[in-house]
Structure 1
Amino acid sequence: MAALSSTNSSYVPGNTSFGIRGALIMCVREDKTLMYRGVWYGDNPFSFAFPTVMAKIILVTVISRALYWFLRPIKQPRLVCYVLGGIILGPSFLGRNPDVKSKFNQPRENELLRTLAIIGGIYSVFLVGVKMDTALIVRSARNAWRIGVSGFLLALTVTTSLTFSLVGHFPGILVRGPFVFYVPLALSYSFFPVVAHALEELDLMNSELGQLAMSCAMLNDLIYWFFLGLSVAFKQEKMSQSVQALFAFITFMIFTFTVIRRRILSIIRNTPFGKPVNEIYIVMVLVGVLVMAFISDFIGATSILGSLLLGLVIPAGPPLGSTIVQKTECFVSEFLMPLFFVHVGYSTDLKSIHNWQMFTKFQIVIVLGYFSKFFGTLLASSSCNIRFKSALMLSLIMNVKGILELIQFHRWKTNHYIDEQTYTQLVLSTLGVTMIVMPLISFLSTTQARFDLSCQHRGLRTLRSMARNSEFRILCCIHNEESVHGIITLLEASNPSESSSICAYVVQTSELIGLAAPLLVPYDKKRRQLKLAFSASTDHIIHAFENYARNSRGPVMILPFIMVASYKTMHESLCRLAQDKFIPLIILPFHLNHRYSIGSSISAALRQFNANVQAHAPCTVGILVDRGFSCGMSSDHFTYHVAMIFIGGPDDREALAYATRMSDHHLAVTVTVVRIVLQRTKESPFQEEEREMALDESSLEEFKLKNIGSPAAVWKEILVDDVVEMMNAIRSIEGHYDLVLVGRRGSWEVAMGEEEMSDFVENEELGVIGDMLASSDFCGGKVSVLVMQHYREGIRTVRTSSNESCTDKVGL
């Protein structure tokens, strides 16, 4: 080892340290590089770097997972748990023990772990760029610009004023000049990836509040990228070096967004539509991440900037973006990124806090920065007529901190811009504000906050509340091509006419892969290549609906949408669309339709999605069990036979209202209403039951009067004494029907033992009758079933296994 010299200390061989410009330099013995042969040769594994690093990774993973399990009930994110795990293993706690320090805190092992952690940070930032939809900036509303900029500028003004006035009291900021401005900048940012990750953990990603928060954060990211580029010039010592560095940085960016982007787009064009991307391209991109990081580091910028730029030039979503995310995200997010968090915590030494006067003053600046960000966002949100509770949640969300802040602080410490105490204080402040904010957001998060940001109540719509000659709006959810024929036939049977045309909002859904933010956008084939690359069947699905609209016997308007979201929160965008467009009916495919083509995991996710829509929809919801319609469907001839089973209750009345509309189709659609009258065992029913019975009779009389003398409407009535006779009567219904309409829940269920019967129900989202009709026992499983549910308040969705209930009734 070459001798090193310092004005303050001299070189001492072995494991020694000496200071150079305040930095701690470690010298280690050469014999530690010998290859570990195993315990059988008498070698101690903790005397060698690689076995020690593996043991350290195992230990911190166990500690961090244990912390996550312990802190998860109070809604603490994994970032907090991983950093705390590193702090516990580091010099602040376990690292103070001489035995632990001698085995786990040696310089070679720390450097190897640090290298792995930095690589983890590079790939994490790369995935952030891949999943980021830069078009979100263009789509952001004026409110997002106002809120995002207002919160940022107020926080920046307060922290900059305090930092520059007190900079003489902060000896921990080792580099002065322009860098001092970057400290308040770091306290004022709200990074898009951090906000998106927090919203995902809180299940708020698809909410209206979450969409607004991500739009606001995206504007902060634009400001961050601008100042990050300027830092390349500011960090140089001479003006000539600054000019050269800035020129190299601009050239690097131009090269990335022209040459590299064109190459990426050519890879996408060369990939056959609907086919997977060639493995060699994936490998080239992943190696290119390290190449871009090396180049950006070489020209004087930070290494993460190169990986971020490469991620940004890759179009989000399929085929390339989603493939990269699918193949790498698990390893990066579950292994490499936690290593970085652990390293941040491991390098945080609480004993380094010794100047408490500086600590107090700097902490005041940090806290005031967070409060100014909070109040700036709150005031701007209130000026946009956002409810106070939603504005409060948005202000808290914009104060969430995460990986990009920690990467920035770690880079400052590595480059000796700040000392150990300042670094430790910044890390602890980041942990503290995140630990406080996340549980508060979770506590304030309610269904009302998710769906309604404004102060105005938008109202609800049902089929029975519709005017007879008004436009009939239906929201149809499509997951795959197999559902198209059944939905189109149902639309035609819904009787589009000149006096009451049909407006169908067709939403084609895809799972959120390769995107940080969910999307619900109108379908535009001409601009498809410029935006998200949709699934291979999207064009076929939309073309089929548009072709039907051109050839329908009545006026039908198709408004296609593309929704890319996580299945667990997809219902929020769907319900918000139904609320905004005043849609009275949502049609969902049954999760077991074509289950062999979609797989069991997707089928389970769709079942939970259907249950979530039933629980939160502001209108009537119909679940279509599609057995393959047997009716004739052409432009010249259309026949359709519908049976409607009426027992009583709001769900059955909605089903009857839909059947009444179908009966207006004259001879093309025949409707048979089978009323099953359950003999009441009570002498005097409750007042609520009397009201329900009166509403049932009113709906039935309306159907009868409307179809007097019509050969397309048939009326049947069956008297039964108990539930067993009722089930037998339903099973005995004969006729060549294409569709059976039924309500999800009848008025008889509470009084006649719903709890006992629900034990035998396999699909509770269909109800007792609907589940029986959907089984293979009814008409050999060849008749399609549409189960209708009237809007009801107080259903809470829970995650359950396939054999358990999907919804929990809470005081309907």
Structure 2
Amino acid sequence: MEAARRAVCVEDPFNPLITTTLQASGILVISHFFHIILKPLGQPGPVAQILAGIVLGPSLLSHISIVKDFFLQASSADYYDIFSSIYNILFMFLIGLETDIPYLRRNLRKASIIAYGGMAVCSIFGLAASFFIIHILKLTANTVALANVIMIILANTASPVVIRLAAELKFSTSDTGRLAICSSLVNEITCVVWLCLIVTFMSWKMFGRAILFSLLALGLVILNRYLAAWCNQRNRNQKYVTNTEMLSILFLVIALSFLTEEYGFNSTIACFFLGLLFPREGKTSRTLLIKLAYSVYNFILPIYFGYIGFQFNITYLNSYRNVIAVVLMIILSMGGKIIGTLATCHYLNVPTIDGIVLSFLLNLKGHAELLVVGVLRKSILKSWWDQNIHNLVVMVVVLNTIISGPAVAYMLRKNGKYFAQKHTSLEFLEPESELRMLACVYGSRHITGKVGLIFALSGSPESPTTAYLTHLVELPKKRRKKKLMYHQLQDGDQFSDEEEYGGNEVVEINEAVDTLTMENKFMIHQSKVVSSFPRMYEDVCDGIEDLRVSIVFLTFHKHQRLDRKLEPGKEGIRVTNQKLLRHAPCSVGIFVDRGQTGFHLPTSESVQNVATLFFGGPDDREALACSKRIASHPHINFSLIRFIQESPSDHKEFVENTSHSNSEVLMEMSNRDMEAEIDRAFLEDFYNRYVASGQVGYEDRYVNDRTQTLEALRGTGERFSLLIVGKGGRGHSPITEGLSDWEECPELGIVGDLLASSEFNINCSVLVIQQHQRSETDLTDD
């Protein structure tokens, strides 16, 4: 890069480097101050950071001559350019790593239509406005290039700003937030491709360079796969790869990006695709995600947004011509995004409120527009470059973000229920819809069964599934911190002692997840919660709300010994399970893992036999809804076993009569009769969809009292590796009356507690499910 060469050759590199460092520190401090003030008002972090840059920049503090001489040195601008380029490389690489590829693949058409709708209208507005702006600013040369600049500036969306804003406002996992992120990525990549095409077709020489850099990027993608596999194998018994190995991979990415920038191209696309195509399994990807995410979100992005605000100069608005140009650009940008996005949302049947939020999100601008101007300035506009164009772009970028960010925050706060967690249970979730689930483990002994359960719930390869795994680690009452200096840490270790919690079990958990990912191409997102048992349920509930999962799977507090008996574990685990059953904002499943004799990972060599026991009630319906996914798994033999008290003739009526209930109008019905009717309708739907087609097995068990129920349950437990049952909510029933006499763990319900009892002596694993019951307030809001 030209800026890098100038910075290296400067006579006194130390002084401008200190200036740059102090400027970054000032932005961090001031942005933290603004964030404290604006966060209670619902304003996101990027707005506070841009305001911090404005305060520190030439509009306010740097307008003072002493501060200006210190912060605005001629040589320090080169350092700003270098750091900005490195920041852009790192967070675009991280964005690629964090991109939800399955969701992007499923919704690429929808996201592209929304992105291109806003782009098309903004491009038309930009083309019309370019003639007016060229005239009002009295520009006479390279008008075609300038028209393209204005069109790109109006059409572009800054994906880093959208991603960070969605994360700050806690709706990045909602349907609207994910769609906005995908649309912003499509938008920005398209605009950068547009820019690269302009540069590429300047001459045959530039066209040849474009082919060369594309091949170099492809070669680095292939090299990264081998490097990641080698690092994973080399650090087999470690939590992470070493810092040296991680920095070596990042060095290759930065080197290729700098080389690309040196010859007049934008490296944004290359960085994004290098991250997008980086292998997701193994320690290398995990290390890059953890360490890059911490650095980028806590230091790099605040400085990045602050530097955008730092370039804002209010004195540019002293001229009425400039004011007219800035206002026109902002109005056209916002108007184009709103018109284009709402039109495409209407075409796609997206709700209007979602379309308005999407339009403001896609109007967010960022540093990419400044990079566009920088590349064109060096390649096309160098003969007539005017600082006014740069100031115009900065004004549009800053003001668009300052307007759109608070607007999105206000709409989300005003219409929060539209973006809240929608699917808090599985009963009404169609099997073709995405299943979002969270599994919690306390140690390595729990991971094998949980990974198998997660994979079983993924259903068929066509079923959209997003799985999260959280490692819950007890925080000791007395935290013992290791008093080590940074240079005393082993290579690859973290400076925070929080990473030490979990011990070597973390390695075994990671190994099990990585093995599943490599062998079955199924991705599990991992996280860790370090908390005391009295507060652990709150952290899990927060995670459920942030991730918007429909069901959470907990670990039973007992574990199987070598003699196949269940031994009680920590009482804190049981208390946490009981609290989550009461407070979790979604359905809850408690997994009783008999790993030696029970359920294992379903594979072609190890086909698992699974059954759902249906007695009736909302929890049993939830268990059967959960079983729909398991029944679709190619390596699972599934059966539905229905326990009934009626005579066998009633089953014939259940199978044959699938629509008669619609011909009658029931004026009065007790709660029990209503539940029975709901059960009947749910079973009919399941029978017609799965049993009639021969996909799953079906059995009726006729029992009249608890003795017959016990015999039926004991015989069932010997035939299957996993039994799924609802926790309760069935009301009074003769076939389960008296089973609670031996109740030991009420959190499992009557039947679940019996199946998990050591005295019952069965070898299968058990999954007990409780359906989330929505409150009256939720129902009223709907």
Partner of 1:332: 296
1:198 & 1:474 partners in 2: Cα distance?
Answer: 25
Amino acid at match of 1:364: L
1:306 & 1:444 partners in 2: Cα distance?
Answer: 39
Partner of 2:342: 378
Amino acid at match of 2:63: R
Deviations 1:407-447 (A, max 9, x none): 44676789745426414422332333333333144235545
2:76 & 2:146 partners in 1: Cα distance?
Answer: 31
Question: How much does 1:707 deviate?
Answer: 1.4
The one of 378, 390, 396 equivalent to 2:360 is 396
The answer on 1:355 being equivalent to 2:355 is: no
CA RMSD of aligned residues (A): 6.2
Number of residues paired by the alignment?
Answer: 617
Contact 1:743–1:789 (CA under 8 A) maintained in structure 2:
yes
The answer on 1:439 being equivalent to 2:409 is: yes
The one of 94, 112, 130 equivalent to 2:61 is 94
Question: How much does 1:199 deviate?
Answer: 2.5
Contact 2:19–2:70 (CA under 8 A) maintained in structure 1:
yes
Partner of 2:220: 260
Amino acid at match of 1:430: N
Listed as ranges, the matches of 1:368-517 within 5 Å are 368-405=332-369, 407-408=371-372, 416=385, 418-419=387-388, 421-443=391-413, 446-449=416-419, 461=427, 482=446, 485=449, 509-510=467-468
The one of 203, 209, 215 equivalent to 1:248 is 209
SS of match in other structure, 1:177: helix
Partner of 1:713: 709
Partner of 2:309: 345
Contact 2:130–2:146 (CA under 8 A) maintained in structure 1:
no
Amino acid at match of 2:30: I
Contact 2:412–2:419 (CA under 8 A) maintained in structure 1:
no
Partner of 1:76: 43
2:43 & 2:437 partners in 1: Cα distance?
Answer: 37
Question: How much does 1:563 deviate?
Answer: 5.1
Question: How much does 1:395 deviate?
Answer: 2.6
2:451 & 2:20 partners in 1: Cα distance?
Answer: 58
The answer on 1:624 being equivalent to 2:624 is: no
Contact 1:625–1:786 (CA under 8 A) maintained in structure 2:
yes
Contact 2:19–2:76 (CA under 8 A) maintained in structure 1:
yes
Percent identity, aligned pairs only, is 18
Partner of 1:792: 773
The one of 245, 262, 273 equivalent to 1:298 is 262
Listed as ranges, the matches of 1:676-695 within 5 Å are none
TM value normalised by structure 1: 0.59
Partner of 2:230: 270
Amino acid at match of 1:536: D
Question: How much does 1:232 deviate?
Answer: 2.5
Partner of 1:522: none
1:305 & 1:650 partners in 2: Cα distance?
Answer: 49
Question: How much does 1:541 deviate?
Answer: 9.4
Distance 1:482 1:168, change over 3 A: same
Question: How much does 1:381 deviate?
Answer: 1.0
2:455 & 2:468 partners in 1: Cα distance?
Answer: 22
Distance 1:109 1:261, change over 3 A: closer
Larger Rg: 1
TM value normalised by structure 2: 0.61
Listed as ranges, the matches of 1:12-411 within 5 Å are 33=12, 48-49=15-16, 51-108=18-75, 111-113=78-80, 115-132=82-99, 138-171=105-138, 176-233=143-200, 242-257=203-218, 259-272=219-232, 275=236, 277=241, 280-302=244-266, 307-308=271-272, 310-311=274-275, 314-315=278-279, 318-405=282-369, 407-408=371-372
Unaligned runs of 5+ in 2: 1-5, 471-510, 528-539, 560-569, 628-638, 646-668, 680-699, 712-721, 733-744
Partner of 1:588: 553
Amino acid at match of 1:371: G
2:578 & 2:85 partners in 1: Cα distance?
Answer: 39
Amino acid at match of 1:74: L
1:450 & 1:649 partners in 2: Cα distance?
Answer: 27
Contact 1:119–1:336 (CA under 8 A) maintained in structure 2:
no
2:421 & 2:727 partners in 1: Cα distance?
Answer: 26
1:51 & 1:186 partners in 2: Cα distance?
Answer: 33
Distance 1:198 1:653, change over 3 A: closer
Distance 1:343 1:103, change over 3 A: same
SS of match in other structure, 1:178: helix
Contact 2:54–2:310 (CA under 8 A) maintained in structure 1:
yes
Question: How much does 1:626 deviate?
Answer: 2.5
Amino acid at match of 1:588: F
Partner of 2:567: none
Amino acid at match of 1:707: V
Unaligned runs of 5+ in 1: 1-25, 36-47, 493-500, 513-532, 543-559, 577-585, 595-599, 667-689, 716-737, 749-765, 797-807
SS of match in other structure, 2:467: strand
2:38 & 2:585 partners in 1: Cα distance?
Answer: 29
Deviates more, 1:139-148 or 1:412-421: 412-421
Question: How much does 1:372 deviate?
Answer: 1.7
Distance 1:277 1:371, change over 3 A: same
2:701 & 2:359 partners in 1: Cα distance?
Answer: 56
